[in-house]
């Protein structure tokens, strides 16, 4: 089976690697986003998918807009691929591209469709406090993640899973499911299932305002936001921006959902029923862990933070480094 792979971020890498390790499959080349300037030094950096392609001496195409790049389209057509595999590529494919391969274009999508169609399914399922998510393989059509579904695989979401953790797990599941999908399609063992549009939900691109920590929200809402948009959620402390990267919602409602070591810590904390304050106020300090902050409803333990211009640090190092005291207040992100 001859394959052209479309993908860009680390999430797509395990699927590409699994394809390359299958002797029955031939990856003819990779289409990925153009190199971008990243991090310090502002150097042009290839996408994770391009790095894998180069390591395997594969042809790479990086058009700014693939559906309008005549040279790339001509080359893709000439390769006469059986299937295009698309994993978090980052561009909309035109009907011309969708109709090129014999078996069609197969997308590996990070949700249980038709829920969370769109660009950021992993983040928004965490934000909404879902207990389960998964991968769906589907035949692509002209809509946004609206194509007929092929196979699904699910995985539970733990209370402390963040977007990075979940994406890594789903990327492995996605690679395995894609292989199963390809082989079953070749043997005509899959009947594509149309999506029920009435059950569809959407996962739009994340906006800057989505990172703002509003302490009037409940502890569980803030916890879900911080792990969903990890590591970018931002609050303000002493008039300076502060990224909050890991939290623990406190209270008996979460007994059984925390790792054993954190369950033990929670039991050692002061009697939570007697603690209260204004939203954003530090109402207690958990020795060895971090500050406990009052929210609009419930208490939130700050486990990991990153002050402006500094490296990420534990909540306890932040307490010691700033000499944080009970009564101080975190405010809306700057």
112 annotated as belonging to a binding site for a ligand: yes
Burial of 36 (0-12, 13-18, 19+ CB in 10 A): exposed
Tokens 């390359």 identify what position?
Answer: 20
**Length of the chain counted residue by residue:** 334
51 annotated as belonging to a binding site for a ligand: no
- As given in the structure block, the two tokens for residue 159 are 């209370």
Find out whether 294 and 279 touch, Cβ atoms under 8 Å: yes
Name the pairing type of β-strands 83-87 and 105-109. Answer: parallel
For residue 106, give the nearest of 81, 85, 134 by alpha carbon.
Answer: 85
How many angstroms separate the CA atoms of 167 and 164, rounded? 5
159 annotated as belonging to a binding site for a ligand: no
111 annotated as belonging to a binding site for a ligand: yes
DSSP characters over 309-331: TS--EEHHHHHHHHT--TT-BEE
Q: Please report, in range form, the residues annotated as the binding site.
A: 111-114
Q: Which residues are annotated as a binding site for (6S)-5,6,7,8-tetrahydrofolate?
A: 111-114
């Amino acid at each position: 089976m001859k394959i052209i792979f479309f993908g860009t971020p680390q999430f797509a890498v395990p699927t590409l690697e699994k394809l390359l390790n299958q002797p029955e499959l031939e990856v003819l080349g990779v289409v990925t986003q153009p190199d971008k300037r990243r991090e310090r030094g502002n150097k042009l950096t290839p996408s994770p998918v391009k790095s894998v392609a180069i390591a395997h001496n594969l042809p790479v195409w990086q058009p700014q807009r693939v559906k309008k790049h005549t040279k790339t389209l001509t080359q893709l057509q000439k390769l006469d691929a059986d299937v295009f595999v698309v994993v978090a590529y980052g561009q909309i494919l035109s009907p011309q591209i969708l109709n090129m391969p014999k078996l069609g274009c197969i997308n590996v999508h990070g949700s249980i469709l038709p829920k969370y169609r769109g660009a950021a399914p992993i983040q928004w399922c965490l934000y909404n406090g879902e207990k389960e998510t998964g991968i769906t393989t589907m035949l692509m059509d002209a809509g946004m993640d609206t194509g007929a579904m092929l196979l699904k695989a699910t995985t539970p979401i733990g209370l402390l899973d963040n977007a990075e953790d979940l994406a890594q797990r789903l990327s492995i599941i996605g690679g395995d499911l894609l292989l199963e999908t390809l082989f079953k399609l070749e043997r005509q063992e899959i009947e594509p299932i149309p999506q029920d549009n009435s059950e569809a939900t959407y996962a739009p691109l994340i906006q800057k305002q989505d990172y703002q920590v509003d302490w009037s929200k409940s502890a569980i809402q803030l916890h879900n936001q911080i792990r969903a948009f990890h590591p970018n959620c931002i609050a303000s402390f002493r008039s300076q921006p502060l990224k909050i990267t890991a939290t623990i919602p406190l209270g008996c409602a979460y007994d059984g959902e925390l790792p054993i070591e954190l369950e033990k810590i929670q039991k050692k904390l002061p009697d939570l029923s007697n603690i209260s304050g204004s939203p954003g106020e530090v109402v207690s300090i958990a020795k060895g862990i971090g500050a406990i902050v009052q929210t609009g409803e419930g208490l939130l333990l700050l486990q990991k933070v990153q002050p402006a211009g500094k490296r990420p640090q534990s909540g306890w190092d932040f307490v010691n480094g700033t000499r944080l005291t009970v009564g101080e207040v975190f405010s809306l992100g700057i």
